[in-house]
Structure 1
């Protein structure tokens, strides 16, 4: 297979008149879409723009190689544009670069290790050859350009047979294609010029290529990490002097980087050092907020399977007990823990098992949020922070009415654990003989103690006080009228999806219903409206705005959220809330208020604490009014989320 098979004459344009980077990229994206290489040009375009934020894709001599890796790419392809008017402000490794030739690479997420990606890597390497580049620039037609793509001139090796020094190089970029291979080639060229042996390991879309063996590492004099993401298995190079640079830096400063590595390194790779010890340049460029956002996304991705597993276990138990009329009683330990009917015993313990799994939702989230920031040394303190957030500590301390800090606590404590562990790992320097004590003793001890103090003096008191204040507010609303009280209960129920504020609202609402004062209509509807609404949003987005506005993992979560919503498990929607709380929480509250007050105004009344679908036939007054309220609230949440996210994506305020 040759490079010409990855493009076509319709993907090569010589008459682009745009003078702005974004317009050029969009024009080439449109060409890829018309060629059938993309399922969604908007999703791919967004992926390219996100990659542009990481590091410069402009090179030198008028060249730029923007690229995007996305599920929207059906097949690896590239489009080429030769510009009539150079783009002078394209971020480039050469500050004076005026872009005239643009290669736009489309890389699918699912094609790692394929022939297509190997060829894209080969193209990136070939473009480092000035003769090759000039032949492409001099082509007079698309067909001449395609022919020149596979014309290479093999140059005889001028490498000396013996070297005084050996420098290892590790390259990696976000997409794992262009810069990864170009940086490796640039460092090898610099090594040949200086008489230094340079061996490059590429950590790209094809995984680890030309991996440095232990014997090679043992003989090396230094290592260069040219990466925009954290290098993998950095601890292999323990004891070697190192330099950390951006992946684009070798393209203009290869010889200088080699000199730094051998004569003035940034430091020595420590034994047990994690990949995240040296913050990547992309993180530095994006700032702390972007770094925290990425850590939260990591925590969510590990938390989602916990939520799904817990919900399914409880769902099976509830559905299994439904034919016996025991949906709300199956969790009664006195009746069913040792029942004579073995089926009831299994269903009881399965329901408890699901509840138990839910208790580890926040510990898993906080642990892997910390892990994303500090690598392995952050897991323990993050997990402990999540235990505090889930309120598990109150059971061991004998406090029956303790209020868990919920998802707010998990966010704060998970991030704090990560940054504390990261700081300790970077700042504590020990003799090589005592290095193992750092990750095994010192960091866990200090970070866990810090999390304990943070939770004891700040997190628990603040969110406990918030819960008490809200509980008092709900109680004071009892005399404010039917709609006002329904509004307050709906808002509190939808606020944190099963968290402490939700539970406070539930305790008061159930108390009012048990005394025949006020029905549970607003309460039960507000449990199911948010998860169903958010799940519907992941289904309706492409029909409402013509594209996806949720990431693939949230689309999977959305399907689960709908299912869990029907069986009254609102926690299935928590990943949406954690990822975009400023968007999700207000919409959830408004949707719950609109839906529940609609049902109340139309005469629906539910006195039983049965929010799941099996309780709907027991609604008094009008079941149609109840279902209409549910539909109105869920659709409000779905439509609002889709259009707000779509608007923010168009403005590059959020990404998927």
Structure 2
């Protein structure tokens, strides 16, 4: 559907002025009435106001899209107005509204207004498109800008077979996954290259690559920090790299595919890891594959257990028993899933069973020592599951290599019987022996946390807090987060305090950026100010990556400020003994925390200090 089919130049007002929100609505309704779409002007106005009373239609970046569906509309239509001086439209980011679209839809069962709203909203996500509309000199120019943008969008969507394919994924599947996808798509558009990007995020696979896409593509980019199933890309040039390169170097990655520099993927015969994935990044990728699968289970398990104690302190209560048992059942799966998916990342599906077994051995505490003293069982926790995952994965590779030259007649049973059975035997026996020592190591670590003086807890909270901001989702950040998660899982002493410190510290970078762009608007460009609302939401949700674009522009000043703010928040949170047994949730789970008001103080302190330093040290583009 063409948006301009529902518009006329009579319903467009250029360089308008409105004293307040109601004045703006009056003028927009009059424009719609002038276009001939309204049979009862007052009834339509009431419908628009009624919709506004539900929630404001003032978005961010100076955009408002009021709309209403009523019998007072004779046919669907759109009116528009630009307001150079802006108007207070009660927008989500609190900024003046400078561009308004009013959508009218008849109440006849037709969902045309939803289609238009979706199409228009997609276009308005482009900052340059919005600026062009705001600067239009005539209604005719305004309509022309919309037509050109919509045509370009449809041309992009109409590409039957994209030249370049990509898959993006990060361990938590929240921010890096989609930032890399956006960067690749934006750069491909600038280069005039058609691309299709599949995202494997926390909400599942989106924009999935089809077999037809793969058959006609020049190559595929895998920008991921966890294991991605690659069998479908057999025979296709494939370039694999960390997800951060998808954000930082999209043009380089696309050019590698276009210049035919990527090696052809041939299943097990070719290593997927390219030059950027040598050394530490290979085991890190395997570890993050396990962690990304175990984290959702750990979050829900912790939430169920905390919820049980939140509802009632009576451990004999039926509600407590149900919630607590559900939480404990989920805890049972965390270590096997972690270990199993590490192993699977190393040696594919045959290693999943051995990995699960090693994870359960770590959870249960089964070992040679247990055979001599079956009364005592102590888990080896995350340490055991991680070691068990790598053990199972690499032992499976050894088994596969030993039986590589088995006669072809056994090919059918190798992946479903021979490899799994031998892998389980080798991994199970090895893990049983090794677990004796892993339990001792784990016990020493946990025992060290007993009777820690407050100053030691503060130092741990501050140190892990600073680590959360050093590389924003990179290996240092993930190490600090994984360490806190491991303590929460084992319910070690002070684990709730350390988890709260780590979570609070991870919230600081985007909150500090939002504080600066909100309070010191004159220091930032309009595009940077437009990220304020997004960074507030990301920060409060414990998603640090909203600060990455600002760090990329001025790493020398912004990054140290973020690290210092996270250090302060981690230290204060630990000092105030704020605690939470949930590994995620940000401010939205504050009602489950101990000392929540002091936790807010810790967050504010880190945010303000970091925000002030960023404000007065960053390089302005003005």
| Shorter-normalised TM range | 0.3 to 0.5
TM-score (norm 2): 0.44
